[in-house]
Amino acid sequence: MSSRIRWGVIGSGGIARRRTIPEGIASANNAALAAVYDVDPKANAEVAKQFKAAPAASLDELLADDIDAVYVATPAHLHYEHVKACAEAAKHVLCEKPLGMTVAETEEMIAVCDRRGVKLGCAFMMRFVAQHQEAARLIRQGRLGQPVYARAQLSCWYPSIEGAWRQDPTTGGGGSLMDMGGHCIDLLEMFFGDVAQVSCFIGNTVHGYRSEDSAVATLFFENGALATVDTFFCIPDAGSKNVLELYGSQGSILAQGTIGQGPAGKMVAFLEGEDHGYDAQQARAADQGLAIEPAPVNTYQAEIEEFGSAVLNNREPSIGGRLGLRSQKILAACYESARLGRTVEVV
Ligand SMILES: NC(=O)c1ccc[n+]([C@@H]2O[C@H](COP(=O)([O-])OP(=O)(O)OC[C@H]3O[C@@H](n4cnc5c(N)ncnc54)[C@H](O)[C@@H]3O)[C@@H](O)[C@H]2O)c1
């Protein structure tokens, strides 16, 4: 294998075309796009032409190509069969979230990749947001003190669209919670560690499709911290600021707009150190906090370079199957909680 991973893509016509190929595979320092496949041949031919890759006419043809790794960017219900096909063909595979539709599917995907000796990555690219990395570093250093509470919000306006796979749980695995809440939950585990229990409500507040358009989950972490995830398909894009709030015994880290696809948003830290005393007036500091402004990182480029580096150096990807499975277990517990109307443990 050369120092550049030769990538294939399954499902070239969606997010792959919009972002992951141009910003990720075509821009990464250790990647080259070799071949693409999409069930829509017209879209596939356009992507192949635009990015100078070979258009495969079938999945088998793509997998028979001289490629090292595959990026799977098909609708959620197809990830299971596509990841297994890649692994059986001895290709490393970076799969979009959610990895599978269920915990059992995800466990099997991990097992097949292990058995075939290929790396499995999960495309939780929001971990690579520069401000998120900086916040995680501050938390690891103990600057937030003991983690107390967090909120992660990701909402958009997603009206009813004929045939939209996210709007049917049999193809999307769920609605706003599965599609966008998964990112929020994964980020919160990066900041605060493992979630132990969840309590969740889901519903259809505005839209009439079968997947939920509304979800709020409360997470209870093993370290005793709490968090809420609020994720809606029925709030206009401009009306939701995708806030991220991290509170601890020594202050807070507050962000707007960092949860999302592009390098964007603002993050400010209000950190007091260990020796803050009791103030009966509960005076709020007049200062505006410490702006967290690291150099922006393109999350798609970062995820492709990191996965490629894992393959080239024969190590586990930093966002691998285990994190994909964690996410799946927590999401399953949230749906179970919403169904039963009680708190559910994450096992
Ligand atoms: N991390 C992110 O920024 C991000 C953003 C959007 C979507 N996603 C994830 O990416 C995946 C795809 O979402 P999307 O928005 O691109 O969906 P999409 O519907 O826009 O695109 C999916 C593509 O897959 C193709 N496809 C469908 N069935 C196929 C098959 N059997 N074989 C080959 N190709 C097939 C479709 O023709 C389409 O081009 C999902 O898992 C989603 O959660 C991630």
Instruction: Tell which residue, 109, 30, 77, 78, has the closest CA to residue 303.
Output: 30
Residue 324: DSSP 8-state: H
pLDDT of residue 280: 62
Instruction: Domain 126-297+328-345: give its CATH code.
Output: 3.30.360.10
7 beta partners: 33, 69
- Candidate list 97, 241, 266, 329, residue with the active-site label: 97
Is 97 labeled as catalytic in the residue annotation?
Answer: yes
Third-level CATH fold of 5-124+300-320: Rossmann fold (3.40.50)
Distances (CA, A) of 340 to 212, 226, 336: 16, 21, 6
Quick one: pLDDT at residue 74? 98
The answer to whether the 5-124+300-320 and 126-297+328-345 domains have the same CATH topology is: no
97 CB less than 6 Å from ligand 1? yes
* pLDDT tens digit sequence for 77-129: 999 999 999 999 999 999 999 999 999 999 999 999 999 999 999 999 999 99
For the chain, first and last CA: distance in Å? 39
Indicate which residue's Cα is closest to atom 3 of ligand 1.
261
From the CA of 40, give the closest atom in ligand 1. Answer: 37
From the CB of 136, is ligand 1 less than 6 Å away? Answer: no
| 11 pLDDT above the threshold of 60 | yes
Break the chain into its structural domains and give their ranges. Answer: 5-124+300-320, 126-297+328-345
Distance, C-alpha 270 to centroid of its chain:
27
Q: Locate the ligand 1 atom nearest the alpha carbon of residue 126 and give its number.
A: 1
pLDDT at 171 over 60: yes
- Whether residue 43 has pLDDT greater than 80: yes
